[in-house]
Structure 1
Amino acid sequence: MMNILIYTKHWRKGGIEKLIAYLIEHSDNRYNFTILTEDVPDPKNQYELPINVRIYFRRYSPFTDKNKNNLRSAIKNIDPDVIVVMGSTREIYKISRASIGLPYPIVISEHNSNKEIAKNFYNDYDFYNAVRNAADLNHVIFSSFAEDYPNKDKVRVVTNPILPLDYRASVSEPGATKKKIIHIARYDLNQKQQDILVRSFSLIAQKHLDWELHLYGGDWFGGQQEIKNLVSKLDLSNQVFVHDAIENVGEVLSTGSIFAFPSAYEGFGLVVGEAMSVGLPVVAFADCEGVNQIVKNGYNGTLVSSSLRDCDMFSQALDNLMSDEEKRKEYSINALKTISDFSLEKFISGWEEIFDEAFSLKGKNKLLNLSDIEQHYMDVVVSGLLFDKIYSRTPKKIIFNKVRSIIHKLRLQKLARYIYRKFKK
């Protein structure tokens, strides 16, 4: 039995979490999985796993020496054969920092493009590449995501799966009184950009009174209320409906005629694949890396070639597809053909090869016997110290520090907390 420890910053119903659930459910029984997350227990919003899978909810932020040692102790107590770090944020560096001198091979699995993950490191490529280099193997979703890797021989490419759903959308409903545009994603206006979708729809709502827009998702960051407010402000309550997260994804998707996905960036966009698996044509932005690897413009959907917040162009793309029943039918057929390239079997076999290769490195792994120079490099670069210095000079951080200084100087902490609570509501 090979013991696999998977570290993920979050454990909620999201893309990375669904992939972990797929791995655990479908991998060979010679693998035993444990999950370590910095999230909190929330059964309603977390995937159910087999009873033998242990989940540890622990917090290691801020990543002080004390928390680093706590994480190190947790890893030693779990005693895995292989550690897999899944993510696309700065958090991917923690496991490496806590595992120096331990005999556990590390696989860093990045779930976004090089460009997008670098933003989370404020484009400090020394820090970013040092974190990658500390791993024994690196995993990416698409080969194009590894173009800037400094050490490509350690990179393994395994694409995410698209599971066929037992539903089919009817994108052409001549007798239907209402046709639907479906959107499913957590409410996150910075990444998923539901506000762009609502504003885009508002520009053509009167032209298409027989169409509705339905949005579904978990409210991770308080964006759901903002979308509800925007719908009310734009007087769209009769055509735009804002829902909570759902379990029956396939059933909901099958009620639609178009899937709209205006994300600014994605690693893959699992829900886009799910939409295609029921035969929905997709409208998305051409510059959304990951999604633009699945959606082929003019074949199974429309990729909008404009800025990532261009409501006019996104609205025009929706309008064209809403107005063209034959094009929706054509794209629907092609969408169903597309998913054959993303099979679950390829995903599982690819990851099992990664597990086995990493296991062969146990006791010979990179972090077990570091030289003094390498140790110093880990302490300075992979620790994020240089990154923190860069971050402290970013405009956002400078403004934040100035505001905080003024609040403390004028003793306005209570007022600031009151305003913050009112704003969050």
Structure 2
Amino acid sequence: MKILYFINGLNYKGGMARIVVDKANYLADKFHHDVTICVANDVESSAYNLSKNVKLCKIGGGNQLNANSLRKIVGCFTQIKNISRLLNEIEPNIVVNAQTQVVTWTLPFIRRDIPKIMEIHFSYLGMEYNLNDKSRLFKTLYFAVAKSIYRRYGRFVILTDEDRHYWNLKNMVVINNFTQLSTDRLSDLSSKRIICVARYHVQKRLDLLIDAWAKIHDRHNDWKVEVFGMGPDKAILQSLIDKLGLTDSFILNDAVDDVKSEYLKSSIFALTSEHEGFGLVLLEAMTVGLPICMFNIVGVGWAYNNGQTALACDFGNTENFAKNLEKLIESPHLRLKLRNNALKELPKYSIDHIMSQWNDLFIKCCNNA
């Protein structure tokens, strides 16, 4: 089967690029499909290891999309023409679009004989959040147009069941993410360290984690919170930490390549995001045996499992978040219980299981099922 993926770019590290590369590698190496990834930004390189069996190409015209208005319009028309040319040259059996600019809005109208799948890596609320600076009318019109376009794809793939009712499209399919992180050992849950892996960005709401920790750190001054990530808000967050007198117990680290070793040196994973597409870091934490403390938001319900596999409270309630964090700190038994329950759920999110779902979907689309 010939599979063509469209994505904005692969030359930078990010969740979308990583998951698309992992999927493409698996489809090419395990299922032996003929896979091509086409990038819209015209940078033919990948920040993640790409299998020698996966081809990489560019649309062309992408360097004009960030220029002035006239050049941007020219770039859009150039890409539309080139998308059609690529489909005719490659003749894929199926096309998958990972929220690629220009491609998203035009692909359903080009070569309608080729099945097409739209996959999104944000929740509905996440996409709405990214439009916070727009008017209510703009948001309404944007989602009306988006839904009218998405329903023209053969399938519209979202990440979680809880996101279904926001979209309410008949061609929806839910396929979760997976993690490539593997380990031959689990955290022994004995270290006095809480870990968070997140971008230093307002959407991750690390200010709420700082606020929650400020409420209980005096009673647990032998524990530390350590965050690993990159992003524009690090200095702002550090200023808040210093202001609250948490400098020695709340540490902001740069992102690390070997994040597994940091998980293994921790006993609790904390997440305070305002929204998530799927919350892949939760799956990573569960894989190494860390109990989770988080807000109950769209994109993480699968990890909560009615309180059997994580502790959660309403978003923004730092009082209850702090109480849940303290429960985990004070109870090794609770940490072990949540960890053991979570480990039973992990097979649902293995790469073999998830990629079998994708392969089955491709076959159904090709057979018009």
Q: What TM-score results when the alignment is normalised by the length of structure 2?
A: 0.83
**CA-CA distance at 1:278 after TM superposition:** 0.8
1:6 partnered with 2:6: yes
1:180 corresponds in structure 2 to 193
Aligned-partner SS, 1:122: helix
Q: Which amino acid aligns with 2:5?
A: L
Distance in 1, matches of 2:75 and 2:102, equals 13
Aligned-partner SS, 2:254: coil
**CA-CA distance at 1:321 after TM superposition:** 1.4
Structure 1 residues 333 and 85: alpha-carbon distance in aligned structure 2, compared to 1, 3 A threshold: same
8 Å CA contact retained: 2:279, 2:300: yes
1:234 corresponds in structure 2 to 244
Aligned-partner SS, 2:188: coil
Q: Which of these residues, 280, 283, 286, is aligned with residue 290 of structure 2? A: 280
Distance in 2, matches of 1:314 and 1:325, equals 18
8 Å CA contact retained: 1:281, 1:301: yes
Note the 1:253-402 alignment, pairs <5 A.
253-286=263-296, 288-305=297-314, 308-359=315-366
**CA-CA distance at 1:227 after TM superposition:** 2.0
**CA-CA distance at 1:55 after TM superposition:** 5.1
Aligned-partner SS, 2:109: coil
2:96 corresponds in structure 1 to 84
Structure 1 residues 98 and 165: alpha-carbon distance in aligned structure 2, compared to 1, 3 A threshold: closer
Q: Which amino acid aligns with 1:53?
A: K
Q: Which amino acid aligns with 1:180?
A: R
Distance in 2, matches of 1:70 and 1:357, equals 32
8 Å CA contact retained: 1:129, 1:150: no
2:134 corresponds in structure 1 to none
**CA-CA distance at 1:163 after TM superposition:** 4.5
Structure 1 residues 358 and 138: alpha-carbon distance in aligned structure 2, compared to 1, 3 A threshold: same
Structure 1 residues 69 and 93: alpha-carbon distance in aligned structure 2, compared to 1, 3 A threshold: closer
Aligned-partner SS, 2:273: coil
Q: Which amino acid aligns with 2:56?
A: R
Runs of at least 5 residues in structure 2 that lack an aligned partner in the other structure: 132-137
Distance in 1, matches of 2:164 and 2:105, equals 20
**CA-CA distance at 1:61 after TM superposition:** 4.6
**CA-CA distance at 1:314 after TM superposition:** 1.7
1:225 corresponds in structure 2 to 235
Deviations along 1:266-295, one digit per CA (max 9) or x if unpaired, are: 111111011001110101111x11112222
Distance in 1, matches of 2:219 and 2:333, equals 19
Q: Which of these residues, 95, 103, 125, is aligned with residue 104 of structure 2? A: 95
**CA-CA distance at 1:23 after TM superposition:** 0.5
Distance in 2, matches of 1:107 and 1:203, equals 47
Note the 1:147-186 alignment, pairs <5 A.
147-149=165-167, 151-152=169-170, 154-163=171-180, 165-166=182-183, 167-171=185-189, 173=190, 179-186=192-199
Distance in 1, matches of 2:108 and 2:323, equals 51
1:29 corresponds in structure 2 to 32
- Higher-Rg member (1/2): 1
How high is the sequence identity, in percent, across the aligned residues? Answer: 22
Q: Which of these residues, 205, 208, 223, is aligned with residue 193 of structure 1? A: 205
Distance in 2, matches of 1:328 and 1:139, equals 34
2:15 corresponds in structure 1 to 15
1:396 corresponds in structure 2 to none
Greater relative contact order: 1 or 2 (C-alpha under 8 angstroms, separation 6 or more)? 1
**CA-CA distance at 1:211 after TM superposition:** 0.5
The alignment yields a C-alpha RMSD, in angstroms, of 2.7
Q: Which amino acid aligns with 1:23?
A: K
Distance in 1, matches of 2:213 and 2:45, equals 34
Aligned-partner SS, 2:320: helix
1:202 partnered with 2:229: no
8 Å CA contact retained: 1:93, 1:131: no
1:245 corresponds in structure 2 to 255
8 Å CA contact retained: 1:8, 1:85: no
Q: Which amino acid aligns with 1:322?
A: I
Note the 1:61-140 alignment, pairs <5 A.
61=66, 64-79=72-87, 80=90, 81=92, 82-87=94-99, 94-97=103-106, 100-103=109-112, 104-119=114-129, 120=131, 122-124=139-141, 125-140=143-158
Deviations along 1:301-330, one digit per CA (max 9) or x if unpaired, are: 20113xx23322222221221122211111
Structure 1 residues 47 and 208: alpha-carbon distance in aligned structure 2, compared to 1, 3 A threshold: same
Deviations along 1:191-227, one digit per CA (max 9) or x if unpaired, are: 21112112211221121111111101132xx122222
Runs of at least 5 residues in structure 1 that lack an aligned partner in the other structure: 362-425
**CA-CA distance at 1:18 after TM superposition:** 2.3
**CA-CA distance at 1:180 after TM superposition:** 0.5
**CA-CA distance at 1:251 after TM superposition:** 1.5
Aligned-partner SS, 2:256: coil
1:211 corresponds in structure 2 to 223
1:371 corresponds in structure 2 to none
- How many residues were matched structurally? 344
Deviations along 1:237-262, one digit per CA (max 9) or x if unpaired, are: 21121111121122111111100001
8 Å CA contact retained: 1:258, 1:281: yes
Aligned-partner SS, 1:53: strand
